[in-house]
Structure 1
Amino acid sequence: MTQTTPESATTDGLSRRRVAAAAAWAAPTLVVGAAAPALAASPCPSVAYTLDWGTNTYTRTSGTQGKLTSSDPAGAAPPISVTVDAAYTGNMKSGAETGENRNLTVEAGVVGGIYAGGLTILQSQTGTYSSYQRNARGTYTFSFTANGRPVAVKGLTFTITDIDSQSGDFWDVVELSGAFTVTSRGSTVIGSATEAAPAKQSGTSTPLANLSSSGNITVTYAGPITGFTMTYWNAQTSFSGVDRSQAIYVSDMTFTSSNYC
């Protein structure tokens, strides 16, 4: 987004970059980034779900974990939750370079020009510049559960927003695991969000305004899947001494499931 200075600080000590929307690491034990095992025919009907960061119940355990639970769907189907676990490689850490750690908090403002609300993915490089680009990265595992056990979902769709860049500071790069389809991409975003062709800004200095959708990418997992990972890193190779924080946002998630019983 547009900045008067690189990573201009707000009153809470964070960057003004806030836009949102739609999401590999050494993940926790749950299956990630891969299709769920073959499932027996479910006796339950397929139910449509929305995980809404702005209205559903969200609990942030720490700067490395949060859990969002859907409202009660119609009929006997239970709520479905998504848990987000973060881990870091190299000299990357959770939160901004300084100030309060607001990683995995919910952003209530307009994000990506499409709606209000979204999960904040905020990280920063620390220390020396001996570890940078993909050697310094955050990995975010999204895992779906119902009634305390993994649950498979189908047609999972979400948007990642605010993929932008600022010379000498940050250049957002995003990768997703598993088999998915890119259903839309902002006008200045290149790549397919895979490790071979990650999603990023086409230029090294393209900050975006809050209402811009140019940094959005929307994906759909046909599924069934029980989870996926998002890898996030900074493609800049030199820095000008400014705050090296970077942020993107993940939108509400929609999907269906009949694997809850």
Structure 2
Amino acid sequence: MTSPDATHVSTSRRSLVRGAAWSVPTISMVAAAPAFAASPCDPQTYRIDWGTTPYTPPGSLTASPNVGTAVVAGSAGGQSMNVTFASTLGGTATRYDANLTVLSTLNIGGLGANERGLAVRSTNTSLVNANRQTITVTFGRAVSALSFTVVDVDLAANFADRVSFSPLPTRYTRAATVAGVGNFGLETTTNDGAFRYTGPSGGIDDTSAAGNVTITYDGGPSFTSFQLIYWNAGTPGPQGILLSDFTFTANGC
């Protein structure tokens, strides 16, 4: 026969051992994962600001090759990128005045007090699109979300601007006095050809928004270049447009 005291002691010891086994603390060895810093090669935004971005124009109107180069920095410490603007001529077209230079005029196209622009200036003696200046814009790396505005598309007694693109832009926004879709070679009454001014003749000021066309390319992994094609559909004479700041996205390296 087991005494009550012995039974009490035995039960209490089992309970104590069992309780001790469940009460041993577990020490966590999991350390906090370190935060990863953004890589300078990650996508970032770029802006060619014609008022501040370093830009070297062609050596002269007749220099060959005839190329201007902008060196643009990214927003997050990535490598700078060269963007070139190369001019070639077709037919009887010639470069004129301040072609592929940055003008001192401010507030071009009514786009902002400090907005300056890159000039595209031509002249020719025959009014067909074979007599044209082509500006090939080439980026050092593939770009996306590219946007800029063509300013001062207009007409007067001795010129009628025509502006087209290859490839065609993904989207565009025109002033109410501008028609066309930017398609080279289509001169029709349905306005499905090059961008052109439909307001009164006489020309507009560089600061007017009446001749603006904002161009957007979605771009992507293989988009590194496009062409702007410019010619005169009016009485032969000198003519000019301006290109606003360029904004786009690209990998930092």
Same fold (TM over 0.5): yes
Higher helix fraction (1 or 2): 2
Whole-Å separation in 2 of the counterparts to 1:159 and 1:245: 21
Give 1:210-225 correspondences, 5 Å limit.
210-224=206-220, 225=223
Secondary structure at the residue paired with 2:58? strand
Of the three residues 204, 208, 217, the one matched with 1:208 is 204
Q: Which residue of 2 aligns with 1:120?
A: 119
Of the three residues 226, 229, 239, the one matched with 2:227 is 229
Opposite residue 161 of structure 2, the aligned amino acid is D
Higher RCO by CA contacts (8 Å cutoff, separation 6 or greater): 1
Judged with a 3 Å threshold, the aligned counterparts in structure 2 of structure 1 residues 204 and 90 are, in CA distance, closer, same or farther, namely: farther
Opposite residue 227 of structure 1, the aligned amino acid is S
Opposite residue 248 of structure 2, the aligned amino acid is F
Tell me if structure 2 keeps the 8 A contact 1:73–1:79.
no
Give 1:46-125 correspondences, 5 Å limit.
46-62=43-59, 63=61, 64-71=66-73, 73-75=75-77, 77-95=78-96, 101-110=97-106, 111-115=108-112, 116-125=115-124
Note the residue ranges of structure 2 that are not aligned, 5 or more in a row. 1-38, 187-192
> Are 1:253 and 2:235 matched, yes or no?
no
Secondary structure at the residue paired with 1:112? helix
Aligned identity (percent) is 34
TM-align CA RMSD? 2.0
Tell me if structure 2 keeps the 8 A contact 1:90–1:132.
no
Whole-Å separation in 1 of the counterparts to 2:85 and 2:43: 24
Of the three residues 145, 149, 171, the one matched with 1:159 is 149
Task: Write out per-residue CA displacement over residues 25-67 of structure 1, whole angstroms, 9 at most, x where no aligned residue.
Answer: xxxxxxxxxxxxxxxxx99311111111110100013333201
| Cα displacement (A) at 1:214 | 0.8
Q: Which residue of 2 aligns with 1:144?
A: 139
Opposite residue 144 of structure 1, the aligned amino acid is F
Tell me if structure 2 keeps the 8 A contact 1:182–1:217.
no
| Cα displacement (A) at 1:203 | 5.1
Q: Which has the larger radius of gyration?
A: 2
| Cα displacement (A) at 1:194 | 1.9
Tell me if structure 2 keeps the 8 A contact 1:154–1:222.
yes
Opposite residue 101 of structure 2, the aligned amino acid is T
| Cα displacement (A) at 1:206 | 4.7
Tell me if structure 1 keeps the 8 A contact 2:164–2:183.
yes
Secondary structure at the residue paired with 2:203? coil
| Cα displacement (A) at 1:182 | 3.2
Q: Which residue of 2 aligns with 1:17?
A: none
Opposite residue 47 of structure 1, the aligned amino acid is Q
Whole-Å separation in 1 of the counterparts to 2:91 and 2:136: 18
TM-score, reference length from structure 2: 0.73
Q: Which residue of 2 aligns with 1:45?
A: 42
Aligned residue pairs total: 198
| Cα displacement (A) at 1:158 | 0.4
Tell me if structure 1 keeps the 8 A contact 2:46–2:248.
yes
Secondary structure at the residue paired with 1:106? coil
